[in-house]
Amino acid sequence: MEMRCDGLGRNKIVNSEDSKDRIRNWTMVGHKRERNDARQNGSKVLIHCHAGVSRSATVTIAYLLKHTRMAMADAYKFVKGKRFIISPNFNFMGQLLEFEQDLNQGISPRILYPRLQGIESSV
């Protein structure tokens, strides 16, 4: 569902429930296009879930894994530094680790200076 709110630009609401392989689905569906468009245009994207603790943090970490090649632990720390209350559930943490391995074909992407081009950062 898409809607417009004055001052907020374009919004997309994605209803979703927790389930196995949810991260793969979240990173593959159409809202990926909006995130990439916003990144290329220098816009900002708000990813939020009901409490802003588990799902939104997981989607954000997965995005960082895929688009900056950060290690999962570094992506987690980065997001935690921006929103200290995040706490992805155990299932999501396992999926993030699997997602990282899949992206890097089993090799950890330990990078000392992650590419954060277009991503607000105090790192």
Q: Which of 14, 47, 49, 116 is catalytic?
A: 49
Question: Is residue 5 flagged as an active site residue?
Answer: no
> Is residue 85 within 8 Å of 52, Cβ to Cβ?
yes
- For the chain, the farthest-separated pair of C-alpha atoms sits apart, in whole angstroms, at 45
Q: How far apart are CA 86 and CA 79, in angstroms?
A: 8
The 10 Å Cβ neighbour count of residue 25 is 11
Contacts (Cβ under 8 Å, ≥6 apart) of 5: 11
For the annotated catalytic residues, the residue numbers are 49
